[in-house]
Amino acid sequence: MKKSENIHIGHCTTPHGIKGEFSFVLYNSEDSVLVDGSLISLLPRSTSSSIPHDGKDFKIKKISFGNKVIVVLDGVIDRNTVEAMVPFDIYFDRKNFPEIEEDEYYLNDLLGLEVFDFKSKKLIGRVMDFYENGAQVVLKIKTESEIIEILFIEQFVPVADIANERIEIIMPEMIE
């Protein structure tokens, strides 16, 4: 499995019930691309997971959306197997995502981009990760000396140039 061809769409840390079901945390469950029969790739989040360190592909036998996203995977038939597999990250092949407009991109496309100061154009670091805080996306940027977090909104990120592999940010002023 090549992680670069896959989009990180969620994770799982807990089983659901006693019949071999998983409770998935999908980063975009409202517009999920997953359906019954989808092929997903799982990568372990820790050494306690029974999933091989280079990952393993599974087919979704059944997926249901509600308060939780409950998933049954082909070949997983009991809670003991589920407990051995968790925790893991969930990846989905990029080619199975809907087509996007020319000026659009997936958040995953921001990973690894160089980050520059909007005013001075000086290199600050690279986008290493992102997460949602419930209201908006937060970018995690690795600088030479620290990891900074910045809201991914136009007031702080006026330029996201995927084609040139760079974003420009306006550093927020800290009030002490």
Inter-residue contact 42 to 51 (CB < 8 Å): yes
**What pLDDT does residue 109 have?**
86
pLDDT-derived band at 74, boundaries 50, 70, 90: very high
Amino acid at 152: F
Closest listed residue to residue 12, CA positions, set 35, 37, 46: 46
Fold classification of 107-169 (topology level)? SH3 type barrels. (2.30.30)
Q: Give the predicted TM-score (pTM) of the model.
A: 0.73
Between 33 and 51, the higher pLDDT residue? 51
Between 172 and 79, the higher pLDDT residue? 79
Give the residue-averaged pLDDT of 60-72: 94
Residues of the chain with CATH 2.30.30.240: 107-169
Whether the per-residue pLDDT at 4 is higher than 70: the answer is no
pLDDT-derived band at 76, boundaries 50, 70, 90: very high
Could you give phi then psi for residue 9, rounded to 5 degrees?
-110, -5
Query: Going by C-beta distance under 8 Å and a sequence separation of 6 or more, which residues neighbour residue 88?
Result: 11, 12, 42, 43, 44, 45, 49, 51
Residues of the chain with CATH 2.40.30.60: 3-96
- Tell me the two tokens of residue 67: 């308060």
Cα 57 → chain centroid: 17
Question: What is the CATH class of 3-96?
Answer: mainly beta
